[in-house]
């Protein structure tokens, strides 16, 4: 898939160097007792590195494995700082306190000179998920029609990712174009006006703080359609949730099953072919209980001193074995 | 009410009225002065508000122009894709101390909004429509926020780069903090009403203290007229005077009102204190006036009272009463005149008594002569007949003598009867009082006269009030009096008529009436009817009605007669139940 690498002009002429500690910062704060052994991110290090220190929710240190199947990684260790806000990560990269960071949508297009950016294929689905209290389908469909996805994509997401009406991205399912998202404010107003007044007030739960701006825009769009949407505190699930689900597999059936599990939807036990997957997804989306909005990529930033090509795979998996550090940090 | 009391009352009322007028004038003058001071304080506060408003306006203008002149704004203006700047406004607003900041593209679309970041892409057509912005000047505007609408002091700066344009709209909210910056004297407060909703909303009234709802009318009036208004709200010590200033937006619409309230507690307390002082002074003045008035009126009225007492004594019959003359003023001259008048009255009474005494003697002599002359003439004729029979007809003398002596005895009897009647009048005994039922008494008397009345062709009517009370009286004397009246009525109706006797309750007393339908009485006769020895008849002693009057008088009653010639006469006797 697409990997964008903004490399320094002299990179091709340099040779890999061994040594050093690659400092990585992530938003997620993993509170498990043991380091994760599956999924993207930390678990991807397990091939070339071995865990040497685990401070749940704070820090993890992985040391290079001299006996790694693909050869010893260039860096001696990878130190992962967890629970860092995107803004703090960006500052840390600027001042040289971090080598690899996650990039928020707003940061990706205004990076400092020399900063590298690694972008995966769209591997996360952002969707609105209605709770059982929102019984009126007109309210659900009205909100789905009211959301101005294009504005959000252009401004808040800085055109990273794609608008979608499907749960699975096009590059995985191949049929996502069949679920074209509709935006019709007039129709949304009509549908919501037809609903009883008591149903026209909703609370919108946001699980991830980075989605707060998107939630505010959804609330604003909803207000234009005659719906009063208040963003609920983070701990409050709300009547409707704005969620981001990571797609863990490039296999459509497994990916859909994973999304269904994450959203609390019921997926068929067996989806043997593409048609079955399509039918299953269509069934999930009927009734507007789930309204897909976007498919987003994973985006990472790296300092210019980080060499060795892209640090992530198309699915967003970490590939730090081939990275090395060169030159001084700021 | 006595003259002295009246004089004293007038004197007191005059003092109270004077004190009241003075108090009123003082209160009015104080009120005017307070209003003037209040207006001056309000004007000072309004001036202070305007200065603060201007200062804030300049701050906003400077900040907005600073942003407009910055490289950031220029970069945004020239950027072919300004979407990446959607978060820019928040940082710029914070850096320039603005509550509100919007960066708006030349087509009116919001590039970035500090107060509502999610509004990117929404249109602010008012910016484009207005065209020529008053650069360097601030104005009021309603600004939308995620949680509602607010009133802001805003300014616009336009960044132009070639054919591209960027509007920088920044401002500060007019909120509680803005009001807090005003320095208010004691007893004053400033309120800010933000006209953010179609109708008056008490929640939009910023500022300390209650009465938001009470100010609705003033606010609505100010916003509707767009002129400064003044009103007093509340009453008594809790009253407040409010000056309301309309706050207009860039298009002249009234977007809010500044209300400057001034407590009237000071005026109320001042008025109350003045009232207390006034009442104290008035009370002291009244007491003094009462004392002085009592002394003065006593000096004035004492001689008048002496005159009044003397006049009362004269009215009671003490004609020899005199008044002490203590001064030479009008009262003294009045006393001298009074004394002269009573002297004259005494002299006149003496002369009148003498004249009446002479007249009475003459009347008595005339009556006696008349009464005695009637029996004397038959006596003389009888004696002369007896002498003539003795000398000329001795054979008939015995017969004549016998008849003559009978005649003589009869006439002598008449003479004795006349003498006895005069004697009776002379010795009228004192009444022996006992409860008397006059209805029954009258019925009994009328029975005695039935035959006589029938013979005279007179119809008798008794109109007796069943509610007539029993009255203390001497039944013998009253019987005599009523019989005299009935006989008098019979004599008045020689050709018959109707005799009516009535009784009627008169308070606790009784009224007796005896009416006839005879020839009636002239006013002169009515006046003299009760004079002893006066009679309108050719026979009688003239003592009958005098006896009736004497009896009624002895019973402390009153008798009167009313009548006119040809219309009969009515005698009224009023008896009070003095001992009942």
Q: Check pLDDT > 80 for residue B264.
A: no
- CB contact B148 to A (< 8 Å): no
Of A148, A155, A219, the CB nearest to B86: A155
**Cβ A330 vs Cβ A96: under 8 Å:** yes
| Contacting residues of A for B116, CB less than 8 Å apart | 220
Q: Check pLDDT > 70 for residue B259.
A: yes
**Cβ B77 vs Cβ B160: under 8 Å:** yes
Q: Check pLDDT > 80 for residue B23.
A: no
- CB contact A216 to B (< 8 Å): yes
pLDDT, position B141:
87
- CB contact A253 to B (< 8 Å): no
Q: Check pLDDT > 80 for residue A135.
A: yes
Q: Check pLDDT > 90 for residue A167.
A: yes
Contact assignment for A220 to B116 by CB distance below 8 Å: yes
Q: Which of A3-12, A229-238, B421-430, B539-548 shows the lowest mean pLDDT across its residues?
A: A3-12
| pTM value surpassing 0.80 | no
**Cβ A188 vs Cβ A139: under 8 Å:** no
Taking each helix axis from N to C terminus, what angle separates B71-78 and B88-95, rounded to the nearest 10 degrees?
160
Q: Check pLDDT > 60 for residue A2.
A: no
| Contacting residues of B for A213, CB less than 8 Å apart | 117-118
**Cβ A258 vs Cβ A123: under 8 Å:** no
* % residues pLDDT > 70 (chain B): 94
Arithmetic mean of pLDDT, B386-403: 88
The residue that leads in pLDDT, B512 or B369, is B512
**Cβ A78 vs Cβ A45: under 8 Å:** yes
Q: Check pLDDT > 80 for residue B186.
A: no
- CB contact A158 to B (< 8 Å): yes
Contact assignment for A151 to B120 by CB distance below 8 Å: yes
Q: What is the pLDDT of residues B195-235, one digit of tens each?
A: 888 888 877 888 777 766 678 888 888 888 888 888 888 77
Question: Residue A312 has what DSSP assignment?
Answer: B
Kindly state the tokens that stand for B220.
């609505």
Q: What is the pLDDT of residues A207-252, one digit of tens each?
A: 777 888 899 999 999 999 999 998 877 667 788 999 999 888 889 9
Q: Check pLDDT > 90 for residue A24.
A: yes
Q: Check pLDDT > 60 for residue B161.
A: yes
Contact assignment for A151 to B87 by CB distance below 8 Å: no
Q: Check pLDDT > 80 for residue B486.
A: yes
- Three-state secondary-structure class, residue A211: helix
Arithmetic mean of pLDDT, B367-384: 79
The four Cα atoms A250, A252, A254, A255 give a dihedral, to 10 degrees, of: 70
**Nearest chain A residue to B145, by CA:** A220
pLDDT, position A100:
94
Contact assignment for B117 to A110 by CB distance below 8 Å: no
Give the span between the Cα atoms of A124 and A210, in whole angstroms. Answer: 14
Give the span between the Cα atoms of A222 and A242, in whole angstroms. Answer: 14
Q: Which of A17-26, A272-281, B323-332, B565-574 shows the lowest mean pLDDT across its residues?
A: B323-332
Give the span between the Cα atoms of B292 and B285, in whole angstroms. Answer: 10
CB burial of B555-576 (b: ≥16 within 10 Å; e: otherwise) equals bebebebbbeeeebbbbbbbbb
Chain B closest CA to A223's CA: distance in Å? 10
Contact assignment for A155 to B117 by CB distance below 8 Å: no
Chain B closest CA to A146's CA: distance in Å? 14
pLDDT, position A9:
41
Give the span between the Cα atoms of A131 and B124, in whole angstroms. Answer: 35
Which one of A108, A148, A155, A225 makes the best mutation probe of the B interface by having the most chain B beta carbons within 10 Å? A155
- Three-state secondary-structure class, residue B137: coil
This model of the complex carries an ipTM of 0.81
The residue that leads in pLDDT, B541 or A253, is A253
Which one of B76, B79, B83, B103 makes the best mutation probe of the A interface by having the most chain A beta carbons within 10 Å? B83
- Three-state secondary-structure class, residue A113: coil
Arithmetic mean of pLDDT, A140-167: 92
**Cβ B60 vs Cβ B138: under 8 Å:** yes
| Contacting residues of A for B122, CB less than 8 Å apart | 220
pLDDT, position A14:
64
Arithmetic mean of pLDDT, A110-137: 86
pLDDT, position B507:
83
Arithmetic mean of pLDDT, B463-473: 91
**Cβ B512 vs Cβ B436: under 8 Å:** no
Of B84, B118, B121, the CB nearest to A216: B118
CB atoms within 10 A of CB B331: 20
Q: Check pLDDT > 90 for residue B103.
A: yes
Q: What is the pLDDT of residues B234-243, one digit of tens each?
A: 777 778 888 8
- Three-state secondary-structure class, residue B200: coil
Kindly state the tokens that stand for B136.
């360097």
- CB contact A185 to B (< 8 Å): no
pLDDT, position A112:
63
Q: Which of B41-45, B95-99, B200-204 has the highest mean pLDDT?
A: B95-99
Give the span between the Cα atoms of B136 and B62, in whole angstroms. Answer: 8
* % residues pLDDT > 70 (chain A): 92
Arithmetic mean of pLDDT, B472-482: 89
| Contacting residues of A for B87, CB less than 8 Å apart | 106
Arithmetic mean of pLDDT, B463-472: 91
**Nearest chain B residue to A153, by CA:** B83
Q: Check pLDDT > 90 for residue A23.
A: yes
- CB contact A148 to B (< 8 Å): yes
For the four alpha carbons of B206, B209, B210 and B211, in that order, the dihedral sign comes to negative
* % residues pLDDT > 90 (chain A): 50
Q: Which of B34-43, B159-168, B316-325, B366-375 has the highest mean pLDDT?
A: B159-168
Arithmetic mean of pLDDT, B386-395: 88
Q: Check pLDDT > 90 for residue B335.
A: no
Arithmetic mean of pLDDT, B263-291: 79
Residue B416: pLDDT band (50, 70, 90) is confident
| Contacting residues of B for A86, CB less than 8 Å apart | none
Beta bridge partners of A201: A228
For the four alpha carbons of A53, A59, A64 and A65, in that order, the dihedral sign comes to positive
Token pair 């794609």 is found at: A162
Q: Check pLDDT > 90 for residue B163.
A: no
In whole numbers, what is the pLDDT of chain A averaged over residues? 87
Give the span between the Cα atoms of B297 and A190, in whole angstroms. Answer: 96
pLDDT, position B296:
80
Q: What is the pLDDT of residues A62-101, one digit of tens each?
A: 999 998 888 899 999 999 999 998 889 988 998 989 999 9
3-state secondary structure B515-569: EECCCCCCHHHHHHCCCCCCCCCCCCCCCHHHHHHHHHHHCCCEEEEEECCCCCE
Q: Check pLDDT > 60 for residue B579.
A: no
* % residues pLDDT > 90 (chain B): 14
Give the span between the Cα atoms of A202 and A229, in whole angstroms. Answer: 5
């Amino acid at each position: 898939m697409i990997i964008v690498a903004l490399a320094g002009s002299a990179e091709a002429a340099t040779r890999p160097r061994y040594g050093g500690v690659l400092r990585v910062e992530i938003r997620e704060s993993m509170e498990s007792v043991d380091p994760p052994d599956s999924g993207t991110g930390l678990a991807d290090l397990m091939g070339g590195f071995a865990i040497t220190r685990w401070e749940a929710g704070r820090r993890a240190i992985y040391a290079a494995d001299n006996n790694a199947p693909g050869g010893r990684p260039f860096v001696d260790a990878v130190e992962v700082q967890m629970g860092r806000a995107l803004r703090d990560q960006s500052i840390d990269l600027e001042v040289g306190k971090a080598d690899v960071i996650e990039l928020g949508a707003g940061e990706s297009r205004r990076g400092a000179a020399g900063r590298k950016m690694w972008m995966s294929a769209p591997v996360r689905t952002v969707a609105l998920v209605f709770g059982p209290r929102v019984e009126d389908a007109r309210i659900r469909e009205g909100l789905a029609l009211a959301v101005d996805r294009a504005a959000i994509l252009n401004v808040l997401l800085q055109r990273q990712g794609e608008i979608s009406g499907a749960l699975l991205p096009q590059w995985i399912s191949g049929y996502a174009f069949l679920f074209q998202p509709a935006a019709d404010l007039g129709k949304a107003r009509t549908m919501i006006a037809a609903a009883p007044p008591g149903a026209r007030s909703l609370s919108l739960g946001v699980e991830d703080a980075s989605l707060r701006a998107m939630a505010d825009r959804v609330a604003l769009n909803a207000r234009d359609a005659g719906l009063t949407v208040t963003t609920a505190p983070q701990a409050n699930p709300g009547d409707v949730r704005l969620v981001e689900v990571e797609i863990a597999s490039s296999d459509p059936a497994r990916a859909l099953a994973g999304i269904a599990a994450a959203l609390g939807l019921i997926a068929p036990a067996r989806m043997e072919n593409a048609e079955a997957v399509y039918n299953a997804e269509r069934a999930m989306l009927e009734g507007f209980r789930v309204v897909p909005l976007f498919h987003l990529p994973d985006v990472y930033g790296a300092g210019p001193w980080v060499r060795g090509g892209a640090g992530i795979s198309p699915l967003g998996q970490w590939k730090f074995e081939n990275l090395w550090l060169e030159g001084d940090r700021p | 009410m006595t003259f002295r009391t009246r004089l004293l009352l007038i004197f007191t009322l005059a003092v109270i009225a004077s004190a009241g007028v003075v108090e009123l004038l003082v209160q009015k003058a104080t009120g005017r002065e307070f209003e003037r001071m209040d207006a001056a304080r309000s004007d000072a506060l309004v001036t202070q508000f305007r200065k603060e408003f201007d200062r804030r306006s300049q701050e906003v203008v400077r900040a907005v122009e600073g942003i407009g002149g910055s490289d950031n704004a220029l970069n945004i203006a020239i950027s072919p894709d300004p979407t990446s700047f959607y978060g820019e406004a928040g940082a710029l607003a914070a850096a320039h101390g603005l509550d509100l900041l919007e960066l708006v593209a030349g087509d009116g679309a919001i590039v970035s909004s500090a107060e509502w970041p999610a509004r990117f892409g929404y249109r602010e057509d008012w910016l484009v429509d207005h065209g020529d912005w008053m650069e360097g000047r601030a104005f009021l505007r309603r600004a939308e926020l995620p949680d509602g609408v607010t009133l802001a002091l805003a300014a616009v700066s336009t960044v132009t780069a070639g054919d591209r344009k960027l509007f920088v709209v920044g401002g500060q909210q007019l909120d509680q903090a803005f009001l807090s910056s005003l320095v208010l004297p004691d007893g004053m407060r400033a309120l800010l009403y933000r006209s953010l909703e179609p109708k008056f909303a008490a929640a939009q009234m910023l500022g300390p203290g209650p009465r938001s709802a009470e100010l609705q009318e003033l606010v609505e009036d100010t916003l509707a007229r767009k002129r400064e208004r003044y009103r007093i709200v509340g009453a008594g010590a809790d009253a407040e005077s409010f000056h309301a200033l309309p706050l207009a937006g860039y298009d002249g619409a009234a977007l809010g009102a500044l209300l400057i309230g001034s407590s009237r507690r000071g005026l109320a307390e001042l008025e109350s204190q003045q009232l207390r002082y006034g009442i104290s002074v008035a009370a002291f003045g009244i007491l003094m006036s009462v004392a002085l008035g009592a002394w003065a009126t006593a000096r004035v009225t004492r001689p008048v009272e002496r005159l009044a007492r003397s006049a009362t004594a004269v009215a009671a019959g003490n004609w020899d009463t005199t008044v002490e003359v203590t001064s030479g003023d009008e009262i003294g001259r009045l006393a001298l005149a009074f004394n002269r008048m009573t002297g004259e009255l005494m002299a006149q009474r003496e002369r009148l008594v003498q004249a009446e005494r002479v007249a009475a003697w003459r009347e008595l002599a005339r009556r006696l002569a008349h009464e005695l002359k009637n029996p004397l003439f038959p006596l003389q004729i009888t004696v002369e007949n007896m002498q003539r029979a003795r000398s000329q007809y001795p054979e008939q003398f015995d017969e004549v003598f016998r008849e003559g002596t009978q005649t003589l005895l009869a006439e002598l009897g008449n003479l004795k009867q006349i003498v006895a009647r005069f004697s009776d009048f002379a010795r009228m005994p004192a009444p022996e009082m006992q409860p008397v039922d006059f209805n029954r008494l009258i019925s009994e008397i009328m029975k005695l006269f039935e035959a006589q009345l029938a013979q005279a062709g007179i119809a008798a009517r008794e109109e007796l009030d069943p509610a007539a009370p029993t009255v203390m009286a001497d039944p013998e004397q009253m019987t005599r009096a009523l019989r005299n009246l009935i006989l008098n009525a019979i004599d008045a109706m020689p050709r018959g008529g109707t005799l009516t006797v009535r009784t009627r309750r008169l308070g606790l007393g009784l009224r007796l009436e005896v009416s006839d339908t005879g020839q009636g009485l002239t006013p002169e006769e009515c006046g003299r009817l009760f004079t002893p020895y006066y009679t309108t008849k050719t026979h009688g002693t003239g003592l009958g009605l005098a006896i009736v009057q004497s009896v009624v008088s002895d019973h402390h009653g009153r008798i009167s007669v009313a009548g006119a010639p040809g219309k009969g006469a009515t005698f009224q006797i009023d008896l009070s139940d003095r001992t009942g």
